[in-house]
Every structure is written in C-alpha cells, then in structure tokens.
Structure 1
Amino acid sequence: MPLSPEQQAEIDALRATPAPTLRAVAPGMERHLYVPQPVLDHGFVRVVDYMGDDAAICQAARVSYGKGTKSVQNDEGLIRYLMRHWHSTPFEMCEVKLHVKLPVFVARQWIRHRTANVNEYSARYSILDREFYIPAPEHINSQSKVNNQGRGELLSPEDSARVLEMLKADSTRAYDNYEAMIAEDGIGLARELARMNLPANVYTQWYWKVDLHNLFHFLRLRADAHAQYEIRVYAEEICKLVADWVPFAYRAFEDYRLGAVTLSAQMVEAMRRMLKGEEVTAENCGMSAREWREFMGVVDKS
C-alpha cells in the first residue's frame, strides 16, 4: 500500500495539527481520521472527513425535542427501532468522505452505487502509476458452474501459475507501451488517448462522499459473502470504520441488514404452516423452484 511522499506528508501534517471544534465528534472515528487502511496489494481506504454520530441520528428523529440524547439506552433503542422499521432519513444526517485507492474494475462495480459524490483521479491530466492488482493464488478460481457472475473451485497450481504470469506480463507490456506513447521525447500522444491501452487492473483513486443510509445500502450488498472478493474486502474494511464511528447504528445494521433475510409473503405463510406442524413441500408452497431453494437455505441449516 505505497503512499506517495506528498500524500504521506499531508497525512502527517493533518494528524499533527488537531483543530478545536464545537461540532460533535466521534472518538472512534477520530482515531481513524486520515490514516490509510491497506486493502488488496496496493489499495487503501482512509477517512478524510465525517459529520455526525449516533446522537445526530437520534436528534434528527426527535427533531421536535431539540437535543436528541435522553439516555444511552433510549438512544440505542431508538436507533434500533429506526433501522428495524426502515426509517432512513435520520441516518442521512451522518456523512463520511473517504479517499480510496482501488483497481479500475473494482471502481466500475463501486460506481453503480449512484447515491454518492465522487471525484476520481484524472488520467487525462495526470499519469497513472505503474501499479496493478495481481490476485494471490488462493483467489484464482474457475468460473462457477451454477452462477454466471461468480467463482467456482480454485484452479490447479499449474493453471494458477500460468494465469499469474499472463496477468503480470500483460500488465507490464501495457504500461510500457503507455509510457512510450506519452513520452514527450517520443510519440507524445495525448494522455486521454494513451490511457485506453491500460488494463482494468490498473489502480485509480477517488474521493467518495456518502451519507450513512446509502453507505449501509452499499455495505449490505458489497460486504455480503456473495459479493466479488475484490470489492468485498473494501466493504469489510469500511465496516470496521463505521463500527467505530456510529457503534449503535452499526450494531443495528448488523442485526437487521447484514445478519437478516427478507421473506416473501409466500415464505412467511410457509413458515407459519411449518410451525403448526404441517408438511410444506416444493409442490404445495406456492413458490418457484428457485424461491423454494432459497427458502430452505434459510430454514434448514442441517
């Protein structure tokens, strides 16, 4: 996770000169402020700024009362109620701005979450670094036979070695050609054209600002076990930051989103029938074959 000398100097200077403030601060988040958390081989996530805390969520929910906190127990109970009943607006009172370094193909998945403000490193203006994501051997899998967008079994050591050599060779050759094309004493091609030759595993960077409600939506999808590994590890790192920032809200999120499932009306009815002792089968449940499999994956963990 190499930082540029300029980035490290900026971080050191910011952390060395704390500023007094009258606004609410979250001690857990203050410890993370500006510090890069390594992800993948060259990536990182770091908190640049944030606004609000658990109390801000409660204050917004109790807007007619002014100051939100009556007691710790009341605040946590209120936040759990809000999360349980899908009251999203109070969570929008908290925001966080992250500096993220990530491979381009991960960024293209990430940007699908359109409820954030993003400013990305410009390869039209600046020169991208010679840094590429190369997966570890334990993350090189075959195509899944049951999921068109997922991974299957690990490749054999021989095939894994071949893949790694291809990735490294192709990345190096592409960057060599990129440098040759933009060289001022050579071809001198415009950077906005030369960048098209770079592979999707090259690293980019951006500032990403999002409110807590939409961040929870991002984490619910991307921290899930079914998410692609390369974006999931970023989501898992962000989960750690959020848990220290808004501990009450994050615990509620774990209980009612990450660790919960959604049941259709047919699934709820099937569950009620099972509790009454009735025999419920794929044929008499009123669900499609796929829904039945998903339902049984929830109720039958044997």
Structure 2
Amino acid sequence: MSTQPPPTESAAAPVRFRDDVGVELVKHSASDSDVLWAARVSTAGEQSLEELTKDPERSRGLINFLMRDRHGSPFEHNSMTFFVTAPIFVFREFMRHRVGWSYNEESGRYRELQPVFYVPAADRKLVQQGRPGKYEFVEGTPEQRKAAVAAMEESYAQSYAAYQEMLAAGVAREVARATLPVGLFSSMYATCNARSLMHFLGLRTQHELARVPSFPQREIEMVGEKMEAIWAELMPLTHAAFNANGRVAP
C-alpha cells in the first residue's frame, strides 16, 4: 500500500517517467461485521447491532450465502477512500464506474500540471494479436519496446515544453493543458463501498477464479490489484466469499 506523491510545483521541474501506479488508503469504515448487521436487520431489527461486538468469523457462512445468492445491499454499508495516482487514460476508464463511486480529481484549470508521464514497464506486453473479444497480448521485440519508449518520451517532452511556453506567454492553464497527452499522471480521491469495488474488480482484473472472463487494460488492472490487496485486509471474509463465488459482484 503505497503511492508516489507528485513533485513540488516548479516551472523548471524536469520531465519524469513512471511505469507504476499509486494507491493509498486514505480512510475507511469497512469491516466484515458491517455486512452482518446490515443483513440481520431483516430478521433481528435493532438487535442486529449486536454484530458489532461479535467475531464475524462465526458468520462466515452467512457472508458466503449472501454472496452466492447475490443479496447485494448488505455489502454497501461500508466505505473506503483511496488516493490514486495514475495516467489520465486510466482515470478515463475508471470513471465509467459510476454506481457506488465518488471522485474528485486534480484540476488542470486550477494548478500547473507536473511533468510526470507514463511509460510501459519491461514486463508490459506490447503487441495485440487477434480481434476484439478473442485477442491476446504478447511481449513484443526489444526493438519494439525501445521504439515505443523513445517515441513516448520524445512526445511527452515536446508537449510539456509547449505547455510551459504557453503558460510563460500568459495563456490560461485551462487552455494550455490542451497540448498535454493522456499519458500524463493525475491524482484523485475515489470513494466506494465493497459492492461497487467488487463490480470494478470483476471487470478490471483478470483472475483464475473469475466465472466471467475479463480483458482489462493492464494499467487499470494494476490499480485494481492494489485496491484489492487493501480491501482484502479490511474485509477478509467478504473477499474470500467474492473469490469463492466466481468474483461476481452480488
């Protein structure tokens, strides 16, 4: 659970390149007992609050039942807020998830954007084969990787130089930012509950236990993997039930 904060604002800041993403848990109100008191109110009324003082392990079977039979609302009575740093193109996919999510992203209208850009890591598969729905990614050659990274770095440097030139000429930040590419790093707060997170993970990660296969872009999957690792520590019984029942959101 870590993040690399953006550098201090400076007109002379050098262009930097990253091949990772950052996810940090800012705050939470999330535990397996939240699922239990929410579920048991249907039969126990106010006595369901007793679940707050009991060991949720004793009700592992109830959590699994709720997940298996897709009784989803008890998984909504919790909250997790993450601070995410990732390329803009990741956020544009991320924000397609609207139900059960809240977002606040840094603004290029109100602050000078920092020169931090994404380049693929050495293990990022570069070449797509096949057709949509039946394609796969393969490694690519060293020459392809070298060409891709060189083209990205050159493009990033030129676009940020143009951005700085416009700012220096007095052009408004909201206008000057138009020259910047989607490989630029941004940051946001993202708040969700366990049910909305499970839906996100079902679509944005690949997993051997998934009942329904998914084919996410690797960079958003990297974010999903970090978020899942944090969530699994907060709600281990719920996470185990999610995996045991095919990683389908209830």
Distance 2:128 2:234 in 1: 38
Deviation (angstroms), 1:192 = 0.6
Distance 1:110 1:149 in 2: 23
> What corresponds to 2:137 in structure 1?
152
Native 8 Å contact 1:100 1:208 kept in 2: yes
Native 8 Å contact 1:130 1:175 kept in 2: yes
| Cα distance change of structure 1 residues 5 and 147 upon mapping to structure 2, 3 Å threshold | closer
Name the aligned partner's letter for residue 196 of structure 1: A
Deviation (angstroms), 1:139 = 1.6
Q: Deviations over 1:221-251 (max 9, x none)?
A: 1122521111111111111101100010000
Q: Which runs of 5+ in 1 are unaligned?
A: 7-39, 261-302
Name the aligned partner's letter for residue 68 of structure 1: E
Task: Give the alignment partner of residue 95 of structure 2, picking from 111, 126, 130.
Answer: 111
Q: Deviations over 1:171-226 (max 9, x none)?
A: 1110111111112xxx1111111111101100011111111111111011112252
Name the aligned partner's letter for residue 192 of structure 1: E
Q: TM-score, normalised by structure 2?
A: 0.83
Native 8 Å contact 2:82 2:191 kept in 1: yes
Matched, 1:86 2:70: yes
Name the aligned partner's letter for residue 227 of structure 2: I
Distance 1:126 1:42 in 2: 23
> What corresponds to 1:125 in structure 2?
110
- What SS does structure 2 have at the residue aligned with 1:132? strand
Native 8 Å contact 2:117 2:183 kept in 1: yes
Distance 1:150 1:176 in 2: 37
Task: Give the alignment partner of residue 156 of structure 2, picking from 167, 171, 174.
Answer: 171
> What corresponds to 1:141 in structure 2?
126
Distance 2:158 2:135 in 1: 28
Q: Which runs of 5+ in 2 are unaligned?
A: 9-17, 208-214
Native 8 Å contact 2:125 2:137 kept in 1: no
Deviates more, 1:240-249 or 1:140-149: 140-149
Distance 2:7 2:217 in 1: 32
> What corresponds to 1:227 in structure 2?
216
Distance 2:224 2:187 in 1: 16
Deviation (angstroms), 1:150 = 5.4
Q: Which has the larger radius of gyration?
A: 1
Deviates more, 1:138-147 or 1:81-90: 138-147
- What SS does structure 2 have at the residue aligned with 1:62? helix
Deviation (angstroms), 1:54 = 0.6
Matched, 1:56 2:27: no
Q: Aligned Cα RMSD in Å? A: 2.0
| Cα distance change of structure 1 residues 131 and 4 upon mapping to structure 2, 3 Å threshold | closer
The aligned runs of 1:1-302 (5 Å cut-off) are 2-4=4-6, 41=19, 43-63=21-41, 64=45, 65-66=47-48, 67-68=50-51, 72-115=56-99, 116-147=101-132, 151-183=136-168, 187-224=169-206, 226-258=215-247
Deviation (angstroms), 1:146 = 2.9
Native 8 Å contact 1:221 1:227 kept in 2: yes
Distance 2:139 2:121 in 1: 11
| Cα distance change of structure 1 residues 215 and 62 upon mapping to structure 2, 3 Å threshold | same
Name the aligned partner's letter for residue 220 of structure 1: G
Q: TM-score, normalised by structure 1?
A: 0.69
